[in-house]
Amino acid sequence: MTVPSDPLAALRQARRDPDLVLIEGFHALKHALRFGAEILRAAITDADEVHTLAAALAPDIPARLPADTLLISPERLEAAGLKAPITGVIALARRPRVDVAAALADPRPAPIVLLERPRGLGNIGWCVRTAAAADVAGLLSTGIHDPWCPTAVRIGVGLQFALPVARVADTAFDSDRPLIAIDTKGETVHPKDLPPRAILAFGTERHGLSEELLARAQASVSLPMRDGVSSLNLATSVSALLYAWRLSTGGD
């Protein structure tokens, strides 16, 4: 990977380079830096706004921006094919290499979230945000959508850097973790009964999980819902189950 010396060219390159991550917005950059992101380039459209946000929310951020951070007008940024976020911050980071086998081997009782063929990048971002806050062992997804794409990173406010997040080819993991399917036909979940180190598998809102994954699961559980309501939004389901699990374990 060669990063162009021109900051705007480098930022544009991030959208098509799998070794790079485009970070849009102050809050996404804040979390990326807190969790060890290597920032390669940055641009801001309003220095006063950045310093105001930093003073209120993250005073360590300005000093951690690259020395060559570009101050640029929103118009020039957009003329270069880059849309200025509301907070006026855009940055480029090196994409961390995620060791999926190491994440699966994490000895903590925390689960891993598995998204099977999620359909929306916004949903993926929200799932990452919840998974990071709940301190799970990782989030894996299958299908065409990359959980590190700019939209998912923006919605996930940069929390992809806070835990192992990766797209995987299939769900046939070589792991001793129990596979638990979240399925509307499953038994009502009792979070305290979820096994430690489970892989919690979530499907799409319309089609649910594949028959192949359901056949491999050790158990299927469902979230209780009012009669007549057919499903929950994916990110809502992940949030509800992870926080039920976290509360049932005392936050450990």
Q: Could you tell me what percent of the chain has a pLDDT over 70?
A: 98
Give the torsion through C-alpha atoms of 123, 143, 30, 238, to 10 deg.
40
Find the mean pLDDT for residues 78-86: 83
Is the model's pLDDT at 7 over the cut of 80? Answer: no
Find the mean pLDDT for residues 176-196: 93
Phi first, then psi: what are they for 93, rounded to 5°? -130, 160
Instruction: State whether residue 33 is helix, strand or coil.
Output: helix
Query: Could you state, in order of their start, the residue ranges of all structural domains in the chain?
Result: 7-94, 100-248
What pLDDT, on a 0 to 100 scale, did the predictor assign at position 35?
96
> Which DSSP symbol is given to 209?
S
Beta bridge partners of 112: 138, 199
Is the model's pLDDT at 4 over the cut of 70? Answer: no
pLDDT tier at 122, thresholds 50, 70, 90: very high
Q: Could you tell me what percent of the chain has a pLDDT over 90?
A: 62
In which residue are the tokens 């919840």 written? 130
Is the model's pLDDT at 73 over the cut of 80? Answer: yes
pTM of the model: 0.92
Dist CA 54 CA 223 (whole Å): 39
Find the mean pLDDT for residues 196-210: 92
Does the CA dihedral 63-68-71-76 come out positive or negative?
Answer: negative
Q: What is the mean pLDDT of the chain?
A: 91
Architecture category of domain 100-248 in CATH: 3-Layer(aba) Sandwich (3.40)
pLDDT tier at 252, thresholds 50, 70, 90: low
In CATH terms, 7-94 corresponds, of 3.30.1330.30, 3.30.1320.10, 3.20.20.70, 3.40.50.300, to 3.30.1330.30
